[in-house]
Structure formats: C-alpha cells, structure tokens
Amino acid sequence: MADITRRLGWRHLRGAPTAHIRHHRGGRLLHDGPGLSFWFRALTAALSEVPVDDRELAMTFHARTSDFQDVAVQATVTYRISDPAVAASRLDFSIDPDTGAWRGTPLEQLGTLLTETAQQHALDVLSRTPLSAALVDGVTAVRERIATGLAGEPRLPSTGIEVVAVRVMALRPEPEVERALRTPAREQIQQEADRATYERRAVAVERERAIAENELASQIELARREEQLVDQRGTNARREAEEHAAADAVRAEAEAARTVRLAEAEAARSVRLARAEAEGAREVGEARAQAQAAWLRVHGEVDVATLHALTGTRLAENLPRIDSVTVSPDVLTGLLARLGTQERE
C-alpha cells in the first residue's frame, strides 16, 4: 500500500521499490515506474499500484483418482507481475488517493486465476492415475503437469503474469483410506522390527553362549592346570620327603656312629676307671691289711691294763654327750669296793 500524506490540498505519494506506480491525469500518463515519489491533486489524479515482487500463492484443493479415491493436494505457486502496464490495464490495481489502499481486490483475482488453472491441470493428471501410483509418484507428476499447464496458459501472459516456480508439498488421501494404507506398511515395519528384535536377541543369545563356552573352556583349562599343579606339588612333596628321609638317614647314621664312638669311648673309660678303682681298692686293702697287722702287733705287745684303758678311752669317745650323772648309793658302794680290791691286788 502506498504511503500518502496531505499538505494544503495537495497529496504526496511515496511508493515502495517493489511497487510499480502509474499516475494519470486527464488521460495522460504522468508518472510510471517503481519506487516513485511525487505530489498530486486528489481530484484530478488516477493512481494505480502494481506489486512487482515475487509472491507465494498457497493452494489446497481436492481431486479424484482413477479408482475413485479422493485426495487432497497442497501446492504453492510463486509468481510475479512481469508487465505492470498490461496487468494494470487488465485488472483493477487503482488506489484511493487519500488512503493509498486498493479500491478492488486484484491479488485475489490473480490468486483465483492461478488456483483454478493449476487445479484444472492437477485434476486432469490425477483422474488418470490410480491412488497407489498417485501416492508414490503423484507429487512429481502433478508438479510437472501444473508447471507445464501454467507455462502454456495464454491468459497469464496477456495479463502480465509470469510463473516463477511450482511446488507440490503433499498429496494425501482421506483419513480412513490413509489409515487403511498405513496398516500393511505398519505391520511390515512391525514385522521388520520384530525380526530385528529376534535377530538382536539371537545375536545376544549367541554371544552369551560364546561367553559361556569361553568361561567353561577357561574353567576346564584352570582345572587342568590345577591338576598339573597338584601333581607337581605331590611330586615336590614326595621329592622333599625323600630328601628329608635321606637326610634323616644320614643324620641317623652319623648319630649312630657318634653314639657307637661315644659308647666305645665310655666303655674304654669305664674299663680304665674300673681298673683304676680295682687297683686303688687293692692298694687300699693292702694298706688296711698292713695297718691292721701293725695295729694287731702293737696291741699284742701292750699289757691288758693298757688295753682296758684304751678301750675305755675309745668307748668314751664314742659315747653320746652326758649332761648329768646320777649315782645311787648302791652303785657307789660297788665301785668303791672294786677300787679297793684293785688297790690291794
């Protein structure tokens, strides 16, 4: 929409770079071009604003396939007004000199023209295509057919319209049909998923079996090595026992030989000791015999009174200690009598 301002009965129009402005006054063309800016009088001016930028026209329409199934087509047509003068002469792009707004709806007329033309060509190609083929290759076929049909439509160049591009975003059947069509695919996908799950489980089971076999093989190898270790330990123990037995035998033989040597030495020492004791006993006996003989000879030469005195002395030496002696009159009388008798003798 053009920007129009008021100044003392005059109007000033300032257009956008993407808008082509045409200014007529009294049937003569005064201004013609995009992005113009000028003063004019509202009572004598006839203004038109034609957009020259690329515009997107989204369209949605229904069609029927060759097997009588309804489908919805979603497409977008990009177009531009290549000849603003022709478009302004064929469509009403006039604007209000006070507000700058279009007096009519030219873009809606262009949209209707493009939509009906595109729909005509899309219906033509879909009416000869079954639903399954339309869902597989229908987007490409419809896009190419719409682009070809719009390029060959004579009314568009005569209106100053140029089609830049055609895009078809979707071609969808009715919801019930779409669900029915999805079911086999979903079942197939589910089957593939189940198959992948089963294969994954099979792989997992196979891996677990391989792991179990490896563990069993490891246990068997470990048991075999333990058996070898036990055998080796038994061999080592037996060898150690044999070596200990041999060492004990050697020690026993050495101890026996030492014991024999000690016994022989002890026996020899005992014999020597016995001989020495016998010799000493013999010599002692001889000495005692000689002493006894000398004692007898001495006593044989001494008188009886001396012997009696020696006997008393010896007896007195061998008697125990006497602390007190009680002499009765009878004993004293007898002793005195004996002493008197001995003196008389």
**Mean pLDDT of residues grouped by 10 in the chain (345 residues)?**
85 91 92 92 92 93 90 94 92 90 91 92 91 87 92 91 93 86 81 87 89 90 89 87 86 84 82 81 80 71 65 65 62 66 58
| Dist CA 241 CA 244 (whole Å) | 5
Q: Are 98 and 42 in contact (CB under 8 A)?
A: yes
Could you give the CA distance from residue 91 to residue 110 in angstroms, rounded to a whole number?
9
- Mean pLDDT across the chain: 85
Q: What is the pLDDT of residue 291?
A: 76
Q: What is the pLDDT of residue 46?
A: 93
What is the sign, positive or negative, of the torsion defined by CA atoms of 182, 186, 187, 189? positive
Q: What is the pLDDT of residue 135?
A: 86
The pLDDT value given to residue 9:
82
Q: For 100, left (φ over 0), alpha (ψ -120 to 50), or beta?
A: left
> Measured between alpha carbons, how far is 203 from 24 in angstroms, rounded to an integer?
83
Report how far apart, in Å, the C-alpha atoms of 75 and of each of 124, 170, 224, 333 are.
16, 7, 77, 185
CB of 171 closer than 8 Å to CB of 134: yes
Tokens of 81: 């007004």
Among 62, 60, 65, which Cα is nearest to 126's?
Answer: 65
Exposure string for 29-45, b = 16+ CB within 10 A, e = fewer: eebeebebeeebeeeeb
Query: Distance (Å, rounded) from C-alpha 6 to C-alpha 9?
Result: 7
pLDDT of residue 95: 92
Amino acid identity of residue 163, one-letter, is V
pLDDT of the residue at 309:
67
Give the pLDDT confidence score for residue 254 in this predicted structure. 84
pLDDT value at residue 42: 87
Query: Pick from 170, 125, 172, 171: which is nearest to 144 by CA?
Result: 125
Using an 8 Å Cβ cutoff, are 110 and 103 in contact? no
The per-residue pLDDT for 12 is: 92
